[in-house]
Structure 1
């Protein structure tokens, strides 16, 4: 009895493998249709991932200051939506936060814009970050020069990113004018994330920043907080809220910025529409082509049904063909997308695109939907055929 069951199971496995091999040969036999299916799905995946990656890159660069500074907790006015649109905090806010339970230390951060006049007479907008004079908390990693040089008279550190050349690729000792004040480059720094708006970034001390850049009465853009432990963060946030202000973690601030660009600007809606159009294009091309493939091979499926092939096996063949085509097209689309992004970044330093696991997963889900719809169309057609009609024709 045991031998019989094992033999039956082996025969079932061999039969299924043979059926899948037959399905594969039917699929690739018509190379034109097979290539059309791959191109349709691959192009759809390419467009979807490109749109999603561009959006992810924009959101990542929009949070560049938050990522580069690296503070665990940011205290701000509740009306702030992005790191660039700051609202000044009263000086007592810094003292109040420093006295809160669970706070290890808290420092001010200045964030503002200015206009730099270069040696050739041209003007260039810049973003200026003023670090706490005593601790320099949030300082970048130096590429050239020493961070201590920032204390010298009129000293600034330039971020060496994709916007560096807009300042004439300055070296240590280069001078410029910032709002009619003399500035001296004392070093260059590297950051993990480039800025979004094509504006170079300068670092200096907090008090030099508020002296050089005209400001309203309140000059503290953010209060950066280092909690004693991670468990103290909720308590600190609650204490800050009693003052009428908002305390966000780094991740929370990044999400707030992302929601702003996603829902309060046209950027998110435009990219969402482009992604939806890419999905519809891939669905229509693959669905129509796969249906045509089924029609052209309907006699073969009818012959299989006539010799006793069950509907379950036929459905398995159709689903295998749809899944194989969809996953192969998905891989090709991802590969072309990665190649295009790599080439674009080599030629365009300002190009913002970031392939994330979430983007790949979302594109995979859409491809599975495309495969499911294409397979459903084929299954319906195959299950309706009658062997008598095939042989009669």
Structure 2
């Protein structure tokens, strides 16, 4: 078997032009599939950035909420009711909303404001400059150091701005795990200052962040909140709800799916046709091997080896090219949304295996029909 596979390898790489054509087809398909799914993964991660960065185990919200940016204010009594539920360790309010700030140069810039609970500051980001205690000062805000901070003029500690005729001062610079999706800089402050500085409706609690006493208490908390007429979700459930919104309730998921399917069909057509041409041009060699005693099973192994070897090399080249493009794009455009995940790589790998299997099937059918007599007679 080792000798048969060695012959198969030499047949495959002997004609460098045709081997390169095979690799180009699969590499291009993998590149497009990984690129499309990576962009989608990056968008989904950014869409859940607030959930990821705050790190709350459970979120209480209005049942009509479908993504973190479209919060529906909750009545104040819901917070007290949630705190009284058995199994709740603590529950704190969160303000999440958009505002328009005026910079020192006179430019207006939309921002996302997150108001943390005054007593606990639960969900506070990790500071890289300034002290967290300064957030209690008058007009104090903390800015997130991410790809969008440049829109605020790269502020430093002490930078001033104007928010609804209120003076604002940057007292800290923070880093977070994920930047936002909609290209808005993020400012943290206390809950009381957020509702004071930003015009709000009668109710001001965007979400209630809950810490259960034990993992077993989650189910009970969810059912009790449901009895109140509201929805309690774990961190993972909320992120899944957000992802489903962008997948199925917007055109984003459909467009990505179509582009991925087109990428698969392009790769399949190019690699399948090229591999079939490769088999046709090497029929004499396969016929000679059959005449020398090679069994049909061994010829099948040869073709499977050739297809799988080409697919795996093309897969590696396609992933490497995609990662290189993403890295270069993020250097030039920091807010570029793309993330290569294990799910993305696994999906592309399965698609490559399907391409290899179909290409092998086409070649195997042709080789098994060949008769040595026909080869030598020609």
1:265, 1:71 → 2: CA distance? Answer: 26
Give CA-to-partner distance per residue, 1:203-236, whole Å, 9 cap, x none. Answer: 0010110111111111000000011111111111
- Shift of residue 36 of structure 1? 0.5
* Pick aligned residue for 2:283 from 288, 298, 301: 298
1:131, 1:317 → 2: CA distance? Answer: 64
Question: Which residues in structure 2 correspond to 1:78-97 (within 5 Å)?
Answer: 78-97=63-82
Partner of 1:114: 99
Partner of 2:271: 286
Give CA-to-partner distance per residue, 1:271-298, whole Å, 9 cap, x none. Answer: 1111111100100000000000000000
* Pick aligned residue for 2:364 from 370, 379, 383: 379
- Shift of residue 347 of structure 1? 1.5
Matched, 1:67 2:55: no
Partner of 1:340: 325
* Pick aligned residue for 2:3 from 7, 12, 18: 18
Matched, 1:195 2:199: no
Partner of 2:230: 245
1:358, 1:176 → 2: CA distance? Answer: 42
1:180, 1:80 → 2: CA distance? Answer: 31
Partner of 1:33: 18
* Pick aligned residue for 2:352 from 351, 354, 367: 367
- Shift of residue 340 of structure 1? 1.2
- Shift of residue 200 of structure 1? 0.2
* Pick aligned residue for 1:47 from 9, 12, 32: 32
Aligned residues: 378
* Pick aligned residue for 1:210 from 189, 192, 195: 195
Give CA-to-partner distance per residue, 1:328-384, whole Å, 9 cap, x none. Answer: 100111111111111111121101111111111110000000000000000000011
* Pick aligned residue for 2:212 from 216, 221, 227: 227
Q: Could you say what the CA RMSD is over the residues aligned between the two structures, in angstroms?
A: 0.7
- Shift of residue 165 of structure 1? 0.9
Length-normalised TM-score, structure 1? 0.95
Unaligned runs of 5+ in 2: none
* Pick aligned residue for 1:324 from 296, 309, 323: 309
Partner of 2:87: 102
1:71, 1:358 → 2: CA distance? Answer: 24
1:65, 1:133 → 2: CA distance? Answer: 18
- Shift of residue 20 of structure 1? 0.4
SS of the counterpart of 1:89?
A: coil
Matched, 1:257 2:257: no
Unaligned runs of 5+ in 1: 1-15
1:262, 1:161 → 2: CA distance? Answer: 25
- Shift of residue 307 of structure 1? 1.7
- Shift of residue 300 of structure 1? 0.7
Give CA-to-partner distance per residue, 1:228-258, whole Å, 9 cap, x none. Answer: 1111111111110000100000011000000
Partner of 2:343: 358
SS of the counterpart of 2:169?
A: strand
Partner of 1:276: 261
The structure with the largest alpha-carbon Rg is 1
2:132, 2:157 → 1: CA distance? Answer: 12
